[in-house]
Structures are given as structure tokens and as C-alpha cells.
Structure 1
Amino acid sequence: MTRAHSISENERPICLDLTRLLSRTGLVHTGVDRVEWAYLEWCLSLDRAIYGLFRSAFGYVLLDRSGLAFAHQHLRAADWGDPDLLSRFALKLSPQRRAAETALRKRAIARSTPARLARMLRRAFPDDVLYLNTGHSNLTRRVFGAFKSLKTAQCVVLIHDMIPLDWPDHQRDGTVEAFEKRMRIVSQYADALICNSQQTRADAERHMTRFGRVPDAIVAHLGVDIPNTPDVRLPDVPAPYVISIGTIEPRKNHAFLLDLWEDWSGSSESSPPYLVICGNRGWKNEDVFARLDGVKASGLPILEFNGLDDAQMMGLMKGAEAALFPSLAEGYGLPQVEAFALGVPVICGDLDIYREVLGEFPVYAETSNAYVWRTEIEKLLQKDSDDRGRVGNDQARFTPPQWAAHFNLVLKHFG
């Protein structure tokens, strides 16, 4: 809930791109969605003029603070009402998206066709504006060109990762080319980048050097918001259990965990705990999907949950003995940070991004050595609950990165 505001006339207005969140209305938020959501809530907390821009099926829509507050209220619940006649012609959109565009158009302070976007922005921002794009959507020459037609404007893009370019074989068909096209446009037109880690910054600079231009960049680690879960209804899971959270796609390496559980269950030495896999099914992972479909018949202690919301996933995480992440690559690793914030131990692959964000708190184990993973899980199952989430001889507690620090850096450099 936002507080009352006295808008400062001396601070540049902020225009946040909401195209990604609008496209995800009514769906469970991914990591990228959650970052854009955090930016929306941050903007609503500021004592300055704030706006939202999104690309609709029929052009661009500009919202003021009131419109942003309305969007914030309805984006997750997706209780938009009925679509109007215009939106009914947008046959490629989901019913929820059609209804959302109808509701937000009614609250727009300005609308434009694509050809008139620059004119709309010049009227709305005659002096200055900071355009923030955090969702990797709406990154087009038209949008950047329209903002650059203003007297003074700064276009800043948050880069989550460059994984599609570094792991192309693990992406959906067509997505690599689309991602590279967007990043080439960012390389050419963005005034500055916000990178969620030093690794992301290095990866972005490596690729954008190849593209011909590297915008200035800052590094600001993402914060963590742990939802309150006292009344959330959780799936019934036998204890003890361990958990893995993330879209079920090749990069997350669920196949490794399935192999580990099959071998462990066939051992006479001990029985594995339940493995709880939380995440929607992704792409190019048909073999893993088939194995998950056969879990019940096989009797393996593995449970798969799709479509859980943040509160449900955090509730299950809180009750886990450990969180397992055998990923081959990560852009940041919000679930890993959230696990430590909840006091849940983490076993993960030895990736540079984990070292940067999580330090020495995880148990690092190579995914080429299943025996080490099993041994470390068994150790955690025997560990006293008071030691969960601690590391090292001094038994230090993990302090998760905070959104306040992230946004302070953003305002320091671009505010």
C-alpha cells in the first residue's frame, strides 16, 4: 500500500515500462516479473512524478500515478472486468490480457498509435524523464527513438542475464534470435545499463563489444521480498523433504536430480528424503517430463508442483531440510537467496554467480559427482535445526541483499 505523496517539482519524472507485467497478468510471476513488480512498488513509494508506459495491441498507453496504482492493484489478481469491443478484436491476446488493456486504456492520460509515440512523449515530458525498462520487453528502435526525440531523456535498461546467447542450445526455438535483436538495440540506443551482478555486467560487455557499442553500466544486486505465509494453503508433503525451485528446463538440470534419486532409491544403505520440484514445465525437456510423468508408477519419493504462487513456494521452502540447485547457468539466483533468507541450507553447483551473490554460505558441489550431493544431503538431514542457514566456524547468519540498497544505487546514478 502506498502512502500519501507531496510531489517534488525538482526531481525528474520516472517512466517505468510495464509491457512485461501486462503480458503476464494472472500468471505466476517468474524472476524477471518479480523484479519489474519490485520496481513498480518502488516507483509508487517515491515522492516524485511517476508514469507507466506499455505497448498494447493497438498502440502505446501512458499511465500516471493513479493509473499505476490501479495496475498494481489488479495485475496479479487479474480482476479487470470485461474487455470492450476494441479489445475483442485482439484475437491473439488471452482473455485476461484483453480485459487488462481495456481497463488500463480507460485510465490512460494519453494514448498513441506507434507512429505517433514520439509526439505523445514530447507532450507528456517536455523537459526531462528517466525511462526504465526492467522486463526485456518493448526494447525496440521505435521506443528508444521516441524517447531520444525529447529535449532531455535518459533510457536505462536492467539486464538480467545474457544466457540465451551463451547457452543457445537450451532455449526455445526462435528465442535466441529475438533476444539478440533486443540486445543489439539496447547496445545501440540505451544510455546506461543496470546489471544485477558483476557476472552479468561482464557478459553484457562481452557481447555488446561484439555488437559495436557498450553503454555505461552499474551493478546493483537484486533485493529479496519474502512473502508472509502464515495462512497460505500448502500441498501435503511428507517430511523430511528437500526442494528445488525453478522452471523445468534444460539449464536447471533437473535430470541430474532425477538420476540421483533413482540411484539413491535403489541403494540398500539408506532411503532418500522426498524431493519436491516446484516450477512450471518449460521447453526442450521432453525426456525429463516423461520421467516426471512416470514417477508415481515408479514409487520414487518425488513430488512435482506446477503453478504455485510465491507464497506457496516460500511456504514449502521454509519447511524443507535443504534447497537443491544443480543449474548449469544462472543470471542471478533469486530462489537461492530466498532459501538462505528463510534459513534453509543450499546445495548448488559451483557457479561464479553463486560465489558472487551467496559467498561461502552454500555447499558447492560439482554436478559431475552425484556421490558428493548425496553425502551433503545426508549431512544436512542429520544437522540440528538451530544450525540451518549458518556457515563457517563463527556460525554467521546470511544477510540477503536488500531492495533499498538496489534502489539507492539506481537513484544515485540516474535519479
Structure 2
Amino acid sequence: MLDVTRLLRRAGRVWTGVDRVELAYLEALVAEPEPVWGLVRTPLGYVLLDRAGLIGFHRRLIGADQPSSPDILSRLQRGMDDTARRMLTDVRKLAVARCIPRGLAAMLRRHLPAGVAYLNTGHSNLSQRVLEAVQSVPQARIAVLVHDVIPLEYPHFQRTGTVAVFEQKLRRVRRYADLIIYNSADTQARSERAMAPWGPVPCGIVAHLGTIVDTPKPDEVPAGIAPQPPYFITVGTIEPRKNHALLLDIWERMGADAPPLLICGGRGWNNEAVFARLDALPPDGPVREISNLSDGALAALVEGAQGLLFPSHAEGFGLPAIEALQLGTPVMCSNMATFREILAKNAVYIDETNDKLWETMIVDWSKRPRDTLRVRDFVAPSWADHFKIVLGYT
């Protein structure tokens, strides 16, 4: 039973890396011969999907089928856009069972076989109610994918109030999970170090995340967005830990003759100083902020870049760097254990505080022929290898 609550909540938005992981699990599990279910937390309770329901849900997520018009219950929900309301309507239609919150345990015992494995990959719906309801099914097992513990390590980068919420989730994972799946050995070490003071830590396995690179679609790049080469690109939510300030400082020093820099991503939180600098950028200057690109358009811009710049203070995995290397685009990134574990010798590593060295390398790359920088032998982790590890344990 896969928890797909996050995918429902994110319907209609630009997918994040965590969203893509949950989607990959959905696609993999419905392709397996074993019986499969999906659990969804809705504003009014819980919904259980079977294989057919999950397939229908997936087809609507990827646009293969159009969702229904919102029903009355969905239209009454606040804070949801039209796409999410439509998906919520169809999730109820596709359900094999539904219940109010206090009926969850009984619903699961009624419909699930003994020994069911509950998988949660999105850090959503990890409530005591859900975990205890799953445990009420005979011989049930709980497996949770932990992407990172950045909120505990870098609380000053987080939204107000989110650190305590994350800590409580991780405490419940430590208490209830039979297995924790980690996206890297570095994440495992950091997570187990965080949980150790709370008691015994569950069994853990490392399975690097797979990546499926989107096909570059230059025709989807909005007119006037793609600059003349050489240009650089950075991809990710504009939040403090992504360290956009370092790049803005460098481009400010380089002046009007600097190569173009594309900052691609939506605005996040706790970053007012950076937002103010972005708002003050001259429209004809070398730095451009771009958001809401299609996956194909973003892939086209990454593929055409002189290099992807990734000066983050902290990362759980770093999917944009992996995707860039798969497209042949060289990567300049922070010197951190996670990147070295996944990217190995295929990236240039610089301490995220050494802005002078970053500037020197950026200037050097901007003057070199693009073909001399291209990456040609990078082999990315695959989803097939990931699921060979995970499904062997769960």
C-alpha cells in the first residue's frame, strides 16, 4: 500500500523532486504482479484505492485522462486550485473504500491482507493515526523513505513552525517504522545521528534515487527567454539553503559584461533579501529569474547551458545536478558528501563559502569552448536498481 497523499495535494503544481519520487513508486508498484493499494488523506477522511484506482489516478496525474468537474464536496474545500479539486473528486469516485478519520484502522483491516507493506515516500500523512492504523493489520510492515534531515540541521533555513513539525514526524518514523529507506549513505548517517538520542533506530537501507530526464523541447521555451551561449543556469526553489546570494554577488562583481545567468525556480521562504535583489534586476541585465517552465523547456535550457551551478548549503540528493549531467551539461557544485557520493568524479566541487573560487571557475568556463566541457560518460542511478533494493526488503 503506497501513500499517495502528497501527489493528490500537489496536483496541478510544478512537481518537486519529492513529488517525482512518489510518482516513480506509483508507476513501479502498479507494474508489479503483487496486489497493490493506495492510501490518500483527504480533507474529510481517508480513501483507499485498488490497482485500477491507482492506475486511473496516475493517468489523470500525467494528463492521459482528464479529471472530472469538481463535485460539491470538492468545491467547498478552501486553499485548493481547480485541478486539485477535480483530482479530489475523482479520487473519491475511484475508491474501493472511504472512511472518516476515526474509521481508518477498521477500513484497513477490512480490505488489506495480513503482511501488507505500507510505503510512505513523500513525508506526508505520517501521523500517529495512520501508523497505528496500519499496525492494526496483522503482520503489517511500515517502510518510510527519508529524503533528508535538513530541517533539524539547518533550522534557520526553514519556514516558521516547520522544524517542530518535521521533528515530530521523524520521531514517529523512528518509533513505528520497520524499515527506513535512505536516498544516500550520507542521508542515512545524518538521519541516524539525529534519531539516536530518541531510542533504537530502525533497520535502514540505502537506495540511490533513479532519474528519468525529460526530453528537451526547445519549442516550449518562451520567446525571449533563451539567451545566446555561453550562459549558466541554476535550478531549484529560491530558498536560503540554495545559496542564490553567492551567485548574485558574483554576477554583481562581474558587471554588465558577465555571461547570462538563468535562475530557474519558484520563490520559497525566508529569503526577502534575495527576493529584493531579484526584483531590482534590470530587465536587460545578464541575470534573469524564470519560473513555471514546462519540464521540456527547462530540460532544453539546461542542455544548452555552459554549466549548471549548484552552490547549496545543504542537499538531500541533488536531482538537478544528476539530470544536468545526464544531458551532458557540466556541473559546478558545493563540496559536500552527498554530491561526492552520487556524482563522484563527474562534477567540480567548490566550498559554498569560497565565492572567489566560484567566480574564477565561472569566468574560466565561460571562456572555454562548450564542447570541451561537455560530460559524456556519466551513468546515473536507475529506478530499476533502486526498486531491486527496496522491493527486496519490503
Q: Which range, TM-score by smaller chain?
A: over 0.9
Q: In the aligned structure 2, how far is the partner of 1:354 from the partner of 1:92?
A: 36
Q: Equivalent residue for 2:336? A: 351
Aligned to 1:248, which of 238, 242, 248? 238
Q: In the aligned structure 1, how far is the partner of 2:308 from the partner of 2:18?
A: 21
Q: Equivalent residue for 1:238? A: 227
Aligned to 2:379, which of 382, 388, 399? 399
Say if 1:27 and 1:76, in contact at 8 Å, map to a contact too: no
Q: In the aligned structure 1, how far is the partner of 2:344 from the partner of 2:227?
A: 31
Is the counterpart of residue 280 in structure 1 residue 266 in structure 2? yes
- SS in structure 1 opposite 2:388? helix
Q: In the aligned structure 2, how far is the partner of 1:186 from the partner of 1:109?
A: 27
Q: Which runs of 4+ in 1 moved over 6 A?
A: none
Instruction: Report how far residue 231 of structure 1 moved.
Output: 6.2
- SS in structure 2 opposite 1:300? coil
> What are the ranges of 5 or more consecutive residues in structure 1 without an aligned counterpart?
1-14, 391-395
Q: Equivalent residue for 1:3? A: none
Q: Equivalent residue for 2:94? A: 107
Is the counterpart of residue 340 in structure 1 residue 358 in structure 2? no
Say if 1:29 and 1:309, in contact at 8 Å, map to a contact too: no
Q: In the aligned structure 2, how far is the partner of 1:203 from the partner of 1:354?
A: 14
Q: In the aligned structure 1, how far is the partner of 2:180 from the partner of 2:339?
A: 21
Question: What percentage of aligned pairs have identical amino acids?
Answer: 47
Q: In the aligned structure 2, how far is the partner of 1:71 from the partner of 1:41?
A: 11
Q: In the aligned structure 2, how far is the partner of 1:231 from the partner of 1:53?
A: 38
Say if 2:324 and 2:331, in contact at 8 Å, map to a contact too: yes
Is the counterpart of residue 329 in structure 1 residue 319 in structure 2? no
Aligned to 2:159, which of 172, 177, 184? 172
Q: Equivalent residue for 1:260? A: 250
Q: Equivalent residue for 1:183? A: 170
Instruction: Report how far residue 84 of structure 1 moved.
Output: 1.4
Instruction: Report how far residue 373 of structure 1 moved.
Output: 1.6
Q: In the aligned structure 2, how far is the partner of 1:288 from the partner of 1:249?
A: 9
What is the count of residue pairs matched by the alignment? 390
Q: Equivalent residue for 1:73? A: 59
The residue identity in structure 1 corresponding to 2:41 is R
Q: Could you tell which deviates more after superposition, 203-212 or 330-339? A: 203-212
Q: Equivalent residue for 2:138? A: 151
- SS in structure 1 opposite 2:196? helix
Say if 2:217 and 2:296, in contact at 8 Å, map to a contact too: no
Deviations 1:351-371 (A, max 9, x none): 111111111221111233323
Q: In the aligned structure 2, how far is the partner of 1:53 from the partner of 1:26?
A: 19
Say if 2:217 and 2:299, in contact at 8 Å, map to a contact too: no
Is the counterpart of residue 122 in structure 1 residue 93 in structure 2? no
Is the counterpart of residue 64 in structure 1 residue 53 in structure 2? no
Instruction: Report how far residue 372 of structure 1 moved.
Output: 1.7
The 1:409/1:41 distance shift into structure 2, 3 A limit, reads: same
Instruction: Report how far residue 232 of structure 1 moved.
Output: 4.6
Instruction: Report how far residue 246 of structure 1 moved.
Output: 0.5
Is the counterpart of residue 225 in structure 1 residue 215 in structure 2? no
Say if 2:218 and 2:297, in contact at 8 Å, map to a contact too: no
Q: Equivalent residue for 1:19? A: 5
Say what the alpha-carbon RMSD is for the aligned residues: 1.6
The 1:397/1:383 distance shift into structure 2, 3 A limit, reads: farther
Q: Could you tell which deviates more after superposition, 332-341 or 228-237? A: 228-237
The 1:230/1:281 distance shift into structure 2, 3 A limit, reads: closer
Q: Equivalent residue for 1:52? A: 38
Is the counterpart of residue 205 in structure 1 residue 192 in structure 2? yes
Q: In the aligned structure 1, how far is the partner of 2:217 from the partner of 2:311?
A: 29
Q: In the aligned structure 2, how far is the partner of 1:114 from the partner of 1:367?
A: 46
Say if 1:326 and 1:349, in contact at 8 Å, map to a contact too: yes
Q: In the aligned structure 2, how far is the partner of 1:351 from the partner of 1:389?
A: 22
The residue identity in structure 2 corresponding to 1:17 is D
Q: In the aligned structure 1, how far is the partner of 2:216 from the partner of 2:32?
A: 27
Aligned to 1:131, which of 113, 118, 134? 118
The residue identity in structure 2 corresponding to 1:176 is V
Q: Equivalent residue for 2:72? A: 85
Q: Equivalent residue for 1:9? A: none
TM-score by length of 2: 0.95
Q: In the aligned structure 2, how far is the partner of 1:41 from the partner of 1:94?
A: 25
Q: Could you tell which deviates more after superposition, 305-314 or 185-194? A: 305-314
Instruction: Report how far residue 79 of structure 1 moved.
Output: 4.1
- SS in structure 2 opposite 1:82? coil
Q: In the aligned structure 2, how far is the partner of 1:367 from the partner of 1:194?
A: 28
Q: In the aligned structure 1, how far is the partner of 2:340 from the partner of 2:393?
A: 26
The residue identity in structure 1 corresponding to 2:324 is A
Say if 1:125 and 1:150, in contact at 8 Å, map to a contact too: yes
Say if 2:218 and 2:296, in contact at 8 Å, map to a contact too: no
Q: Could you tell which deviates more after superposition, 358-367 or 163-172? A: 358-367
Q: In the aligned structure 2, how far is the partner of 1:303 from the partner of 1:364?
A: 24
Deviations 1:5-36 (A, max 9, x none): xxxxxxxxxx1100001000000001110111
> What are the ranges of 5 or more consecutive residues in structure 2 without an aligned counterpart?
none
